[in-house]
A and B are shown apart, each in its own frame.
Chain A
């Protein structure tokens, strides 16, 4: 089978709906992209002449930068639109914005939005390809792909690994996309959090649910920490930062519950001293910086895969 036809989607709206072959194909493409990014001449021509719009309704320096670099390394013309301070605040709806942008004939729109389903809605109203860069607490597919790539490169496989995802699962699109993807690739997924930070019905997501870090990290190959938003720390979902760090913050002691060769991940940006201790974040077992590099590679792969289905005339 031709590598170009192994991913047959117009959009990347989520990990849900992708099979393990499609995921594997994107990861293989990303491996090639790493090589491009490590050359002096970091440029391909796959997207030459194409227009990519990064439409961010929610501020995100790193994801936006990552998509921008990915597009530029593939030769696309990339335009960044941060909508937080533009017409949407004047009452223009998401649909109006989509229609307006569509008229500018982009080839790919990368969207981040604070509401679950918003990217799906936008994709219905435009003709070009749409990439979900995070929609509410729903999905963040490129994050899950870059996490998988990072794991695969360090552990050589994903199948059979025990992956513990810890922290604010309730509000996390990263957790949802990762749970779906890791299950599709045959990992054993565990979520570890106080019940107040777990989505109802999580036990039906194909995960083991643990409320205690010692049990949750036992035999873990990968410990994936999630960010806890500041507004959720003080009495609304957990009593205090101090209490949260004590029971759920990843420090050397708790990391000791996991396998000796366990690796630590975090989607960033980190709250040091809240969900993760600085010495762990910067320690020998941390993959956090590598995740950022893999982010660019995975986004290049996704853009390339979608571009192969863009109309040529």
Chain B
């Protein structure tokens, strides 16, 4: 059906790339956007399929720069297929698959494997990120050139930081030459130490070791000096505290090629949500105090933080039903990304077009892909959602193989009604 035309009309359209917003219609042909008509309906070709978007918002599909999809090696937690189904249900049409697989994505053959598996089994676009260092061990850089030729979209050690500054410097230097994008987890493992949640009164009362803000900020600060030295394209994967925002602000002012993301968890939850040792809320970076959360939301709203990621990390019962300190980090997030984000819109903390930009056009620009905009010629990766529909999340309904959501039984608002990838309906 790829060559058939399709008209989506009647919706409130938001194009985050241009900031334009209004009613209208989109014409899709051959998997791409053939026309965007603001106000008036476009001339629909005869026999075109029609989707009525009345009462809904039409926007580009979401692009999630940070999701762990399980394959290869952790298929009991997630597969590219199940992750893509969760993504489609959550309105995510493109996901960057993180490289902390087993084996890790440090060889072009594994990039190739993931691309082929995704082509055969996934219903959304999957862009594999390759490891930054061999075995993600933080010592020797991977074959950036060959990995990129195989289809790697970025280089990252996933949930690990490269602690050796010389290794990082050389990786950034080499990446710059080939125009590669480095996505770095900023969390110093020595400063994390035995820490399992945000450092402060809350952790102390629970008898848990804390993780200071500095664990994040010292790595970010170091990286920014190294970016200054090398000029590489650098993206800080997940920022969680005010000190890091100050570092980012200075880097921006200095004109360095630095972008930053934030996890949806850090935007919508705080350390108090851990309650009595709820391990589904154990994530990295840890959930911080409420004033830190508000600060990162404000930074997202003003554009200091560029993108919002799901930080999707499926964990199974054996790794989560443990005492808090012994449980693994991670929460699933693909399916709830938009709903959780809409909490911030509902609370008046961010405008909807800005939130959508951080989930569409901004990651597209960083990754250098065509998606993420309502423009003629762009891929017809589109979503229709009702921003107001309330629901209570039941984790049993999640498409992910793992059910470790921090939003179980939470009241959420906003549901994706239809998801299209390259003009084909994959959800709804």
| In the assembled complex, A200 has its CB within 8 A of some CB on chain B | yes
Assess the A139–B277 pair: CB atoms within 8 A.
no
User: Closest B-chain residue to A16, C-beta based?
Assistant: B205
A109-120 to B contact mask, C-beta < 8 Å, 1/0: 000010111101
| A residues lining the B interface (CB < 8 Å) | 16, 93-95, 113, 115-118, 120-121, 135-139, 173, 176, 199-202, 204-205
Smallest CB–CB gap between B423 and chain A, Å?
47
| In the assembled complex, B60 has its CB within 8 A of some CB on chain A | no
List 24 A-B residue pairs with CB atoms under 8 Å apart, sorted by A's residue number.
A93-B318, A93-B321, A93-B322, A94-B322, A95-B321, A113-B323, A116-B206, A116-B324, A117-B208, A117-B277, A117-B324, A137-B208, A138-B206, A139-B207, A176-B205, A176-B207, A199-B203, A200-B199, A200-B201, A200-B210, A200-B212, A201-B200, A201-B205, A204-B201
Smallest CB–CB gap between B301 and chain A, Å?
29
Smallest CB–CB gap between A247 and chain B, Å?
23
Q: Given contacts A116-B206, A117-B206, A117-B208, could you give 11 more A-B pairs where the C-beta distance is less than 8 Å? A: A94-B322, A95-B322, A116-B277, A135-B207, A136-B207, A137-B207, A137-B209, A176-B205, A200-B201, A201-B203, A205-B204
CB contact between B200 and one of A16, A120, A136, A200 (< 8 Å): that residue: A200
| In the assembled complex, B202 has its CB within 8 A of some CB on chain A | yes
The residues of B that contact A136 with a CB separation of less than 8 Å are 207-208, 323, 325
User: Closest B-chain residue to A118, C-beta based?
Assistant: B323
The residues of A that contact B202 with a CB separation of less than 8 Å are 201
Smallest CB–CB gap between A123 and chain B, Å?
10
Assess the A94–B323 pair: CB atoms within 8 A.
yes
Smallest CB–CB gap between B39 and chain A, Å?
56
Cα of A137 to Cα of B210 in the assembled complex, Å: 12
Smallest CB–CB gap between B260 and chain A, Å?
26
Assess the B277–A120 pair: CB atoms within 8 A.
yes
| B residues lining the A interface (CB < 8 Å) | 199-210, 212, 276-277, 318, 321-326
The residues of A that contact B199 with a CB separation of less than 8 Å are 200
Cα of A202 to Cα of B323 in the assembled complex, Å: 23
Smallest CB–CB gap between A158 and chain B, Å?
22
User: Closest A-chain residue to B199, C-beta based?
Assistant: A200
Assess the A201–B201 pair: CB atoms within 8 A.
yes
Cα of A176 to Cα of B206 in the assembled complex, Å: 9
Cα of A118 to Cα of B325 in the assembled complex, Å: 9
Cα of A137 to Cα of B202 in the assembled complex, Å: 13
Smallest CB–CB gap between A171 and chain B, Å?
9
User: Closest B-chain residue to A119, C-beta based?
Assistant: B323
CB contact between B324 and one of A16, A115, A176 (< 8 Å): that residue: A115
Assess the B204–A116 pair: CB atoms within 8 A.
no
The residues of A that contact B201 with a CB separation of less than 8 Å are 200-202, 204-205
The residues of B that contact A199 with a CB separation of less than 8 Å are 203-204
Asked whether A200 and B204 contact (CB < 8 A) given A115-B325, A115-B326, the answer is yes
Cα of A202 to Cα of B318 in the assembled complex, Å: 33
Assess the B323–A117 pair: CB atoms within 8 A.
yes
CB contact between B276 and one of A115, A117, A173 (< 8 Å): that residue: A117
The residues of A that contact B323 with a CB separation of less than 8 Å are 94, 113, 115-118, 121, 136
User: Closest B-chain residue to A201, C-beta based?
Assistant: B201
Assess the A116–B207 pair: CB atoms within 8 A.
yes
Chain A CB within 10 Å — which of B200, B205, B206 has the most? B205
Cα of A17 to Cα of B45 in the assembled complex, Å: 69
Cα of A173 to Cα of B212 in the assembled complex, Å: 21
The residues of A that contact B212 with a CB separation of less than 8 Å are 200
Cα of A10 to Cα of B173 in the assembled complex, Å: 62
User: Closest B-chain residue to A121, C-beta based?
Assistant: B323
Assess the A200–B318 pair: CB atoms within 8 A.
no
Cα of A173 to Cα of B206 in the assembled complex, Å: 10
The residues of B that contact A137 with a CB separation of less than 8 Å are 207-209
The residues of A that contact B277 with a CB separation of less than 8 Å are 116-117, 120-121
The residues of A that contact B207 with a CB separation of less than 8 Å are 116-117, 135-139, 173, 176
Smallest CB–CB gap between A232 and chain B, Å?
12
Closest 10 interchain pairs by CB? A138-B207, A201-B201, A115-B323, A117-B277, A199-B204, A116-B207, A137-B207, A118-B323, A201-B200, A204-B201
Smallest CB–CB gap between B107 and chain A, Å?
31
Cα of A118 to Cα of B279 in the assembled complex, Å: 11
Smallest CB–CB gap between B75 and chain A, Å?
20
Smallest CB–CB gap between B181 and chain A, Å?
36
Cα of A137 to Cα of B324 in the assembled complex, Å: 12
CB contact between A201 and one of B204, B321, B326 (< 8 Å): that residue: B204
Smallest CB–CB gap between B95 and chain A, Å?
31
Asked whether A200 and B203 contact (CB < 8 A) given A116-B325, A121-B277, A121-B323, the answer is yes
Smallest CB–CB gap between B269 and chain A, Å?
18
The residues of B that contact A95 with a CB separation of less than 8 Å are 321-322
Smallest CB–CB gap between B66 and chain A, Å?
28
Cα of A94 to Cα of B323 in the assembled complex, Å: 8
The residues of A that contact B326 with a CB separation of less than 8 Å are 115
The residues of A that contact B210 with a CB separation of less than 8 Å are 200
User: Closest A-chain residue to B204, C-beta based?
Assistant: A199
User: Closest A-chain residue to B208, C-beta based?
Assistant: A116
Cα of A176 to Cα of B324 in the assembled complex, Å: 18
Assess the B276–A120 pair: CB atoms within 8 A.
yes
The residues of B that contact A176 with a CB separation of less than 8 Å are 205, 207
Smallest CB–CB gap between B316 and chain A, Å?
12
The residues of A that contact B324 with a CB separation of less than 8 Å are 115-117
Smallest CB–CB gap between A267 and chain B, Å?
15
Cα of A176 to Cα of B326 in the assembled complex, Å: 21
Smallest CB–CB gap between B321 and chain A, Å?
5
User: Closest B-chain residue to A140, C-beta based?
Assistant: B207
The residues of B that contact A201 with a CB separation of less than 8 Å are 200-205
Cα of A205 to Cα of B204 in the assembled complex, Å: 9
